[in-house]
Structure 1
């Protein structure tokens, strides 16, 4: 498809639906809604935001972090999800795939069989979306847009 120049057309036809989630607050609300629907008993999230440095520094598209702080005699855990800003302009399905991936880390830390089963539970087309996201990133590289993201 790349050699024939058909990859961009394939992706545009298959993933034409944009999303309106451009602010950190909207991303937090979107993530909370997915979490409430699929992972009600998972620990609460303190922050969900877009991160412009994520792709460049950590070579990641999203991260899930846990930080434990001591406050007096108690421990307080903060959980954050950061999503690469490149997903502000990505198709809606790819944003959902990344959010589902990071939410699955609330229950499963490693990328094991249970992790992917949880991802498929939240998004049945997870495997295809993950593959097509790799194609999308390849197309961005070919177009020279990756450096700007």
Structure 2
């Protein structure tokens, strides 16, 4: 949920608030701004007091993100995209009728009557989501078999700050943007969420479960954080 707070300095601070079953308040700076994870029972006034105490750190981090922000996709012919960690060129041809998106290694081809950027973006995102369902399902089936667990369903997420989630019903959600990442990064997120079927927490047992099917999880987690801004260009 979006919120706004006027700081003592007069600066207007916008943030996304997610209330969860947790004991502490977590502040996270993403490419889209400040995201706060807060306990369900904390009052708004208590929460805002904490934000004010951390205001200098938040503003400094937000300024750093703005200074290093990766340019947004322009949705034009020749734009460079990512697929499974590899570069892919977007080509757009004029055609009296809009055709289905076609893919050849290294090239994503669109043919349409005009180069409306919103339409181009929609068609490309739809294509990514379609591929993501197939790709993620295959990975989930492989690693769930290795771990000896079963998931009940897969849905795609559009979250700004989370790459995946798993609930007590064994329903898994994965961010479709992950399809841009190298395969080992996708595998890490898949294994992370499958491990929650055994351990619905982030305890030592949970990380031991992750390590049992993805030994190099620490390096993958670090790499995912580093490339997240690139994956969120969409």
* Structure-1-length-normalised TM-score: 0.64
Could you list the structure 1 runs, at least 4 aligned residues long, displaced by more than 3 angstroms after superposition: 15-18
1:61 paired with 2:163, answer yes
Cα RMSD between the aligned structures? 2.6
1: CA distance, partners of 2:178 / 2:132: 11
Give the Å deviation of 1:126.
0.5
Tell me the equivalent position of 2:232.
Answer: 146
Deviation string for 1:10-41 (max 9, x for gaps)?
xxxxx9579xx92414422320111111x22x
Who wins on radius of gyration, i.e. which is larger? 2
Structure 2 alignment gaps of length 5 or more: 1-83, 88-129
Deviation string for 1:101-125 (max 9, x for gaps)?
0000000111011111111111111
CA contact (8 A) 2:85 2:180 kept: no
1:24 paired with 2:133, answer yes
2:210 aligned residue (113, 119, 133): 119
Choose between structure 1 and 2: higher strand proportion: 2
1:48 aligned residue (138, 154, 161): 154
Give the Å deviation of 1:147.
4.6
Structure 1 alignment gaps of length 5 or more: 1-14, 67-77
1:102 paired with 2:175, answer no
